[in-house]
Chains A and B, each alone.
Chain A
Amino acid sequence: MTVARTPEVLAHQFDDLEQQHDAANLGMWAFLATEILFFGGMFLGYAVYRSLYPEAFTQASNHMDILLGMINTVVLIASSLTVVLAVHAAQQDRRRALVGLLTLTILLGLVFLGIKSTEYLHKFNENLVPGVDFAYTGQNARHAALFFSFYFAMTGMHALHMIIGIAIFAWLIVAARRGRYTAIYNTPVEIAGLYWHFVDIIWIFLFPLFYLLGRHL
């Protein structure tokens, strides 16, 4: 059955499924290399301004909720686990497990975004969002505004990547339910997983840089 399906999943430009898999895998890694530099530019900007205004960044960092940041880190790590288990399930032809684990991944992603939304809302209510209503009461308000600008730009871009990831997983679930992914062909699940893990790695660095670092001067 699965062998009979092989020709239709093999695009005509490839010799065999292995070559197709390696090309897709390498393509995702090439994209992730550009993503490293995309986020890297923002990390660099953060590092430069933090080195210029260490006190302001430290004080502004104390407005972050460490507990929520830690919970979100755990949620995201758990979603990375469900993704690798989903890839594993696909490789073993366990379709129901694959659909279940991808659904769980989406749910964990939504939990993360929900917690992030409440944090954003809190910042809006406290007037800590740079702009006309920015009303920071501590010292060096202009430099603290830089901290919050980096915070919203970087966590916002990270959240956008998660929304895209959730959409991709939703698409994969539809295809998986139709039996599209088998032990022989499951490359889309695998490379979507690579993307999701990359987004996880970005958060692994955002968490200490915004929530944890500089609580002591």
Chain B
Amino acid sequence: MIAVKTYYMVFAALLALTLVTTGAAFVDLGARWNTIVGLTIATVKALLVATYFMHLRHSQRLTLLFAGAGVLWLALLITFVFADYLTRGW
């Protein structure tokens, strides 16, 4: 079981990352890097929520497989669609 203190620490980290991502939006890094920074921070926040709040850290392997399958299929969907869109010569 995860300690309550851990929940508060994750909560604090999520708040801090929200402030960082909002602040970063006002810094001009170029469209590409603003996008990468925003999505990277969002992914870290999502992993924090999944790992601690959704207890993936202490869950059984079958649960991890189910969660991983959802993400894997989404990655396939995105990869193959962009493999098309980004390589069109027209």
Binding site for B on A (CB under 8 A): 22, 25-26, 29-30, 32-37, 40-41, 44, 47-48, 51-52, 54, 58, 66, 70, 73-74, 77-78, 80-81, 83-85, 88, 91, 193-194, 197-198, 200-201, 204-205, 207-209, 211-217
Contact = CB atoms under 8 A, between A and B. Distances in A.
B41 A208 contact: yes
Contacts of A47: 78, 82
**In terms of DSSP, what is the predominant structure of the interface of chain A?**
helix
Contacts of A217: 31
Contacts of A84: 2, 7, 52-53
Nearest to A33: B70
Interface core residue of A73, A77, A91 (most chain B CB under 10 Å):
A77
Nearest to A205: B42
A80 B49 contact: yes
B53 A36 contact: no
Interface core residue of B21, B22, B54 (most chain A CB under 10 Å):
B54
Interface of B: 1-2, 4, 7-8, 11, 14-15, 18-19, 21-22, 24-26, 28-31, 34-35, 38-39, 41-42, 45-46, 49-50, 52-54, 59-60, 62-63, 66-67, 69-71, 73-74, 77-78, 81-82, 85-86
B34 A213 contact: yes
Contacts of A26: 62-63, 66
Contacts of B14: 77, 80
Contacts of B25: 66, 208, 211-213, 215
13 contacts: A32-B67, A33-B67, A44-B81, A47-B82, A66-B25, A80-B49, A88-B7, A193-B54, A201-B45, A204-B45, A213-B38, A215-B34, A217-B31
A216 B67 CA distance: 34
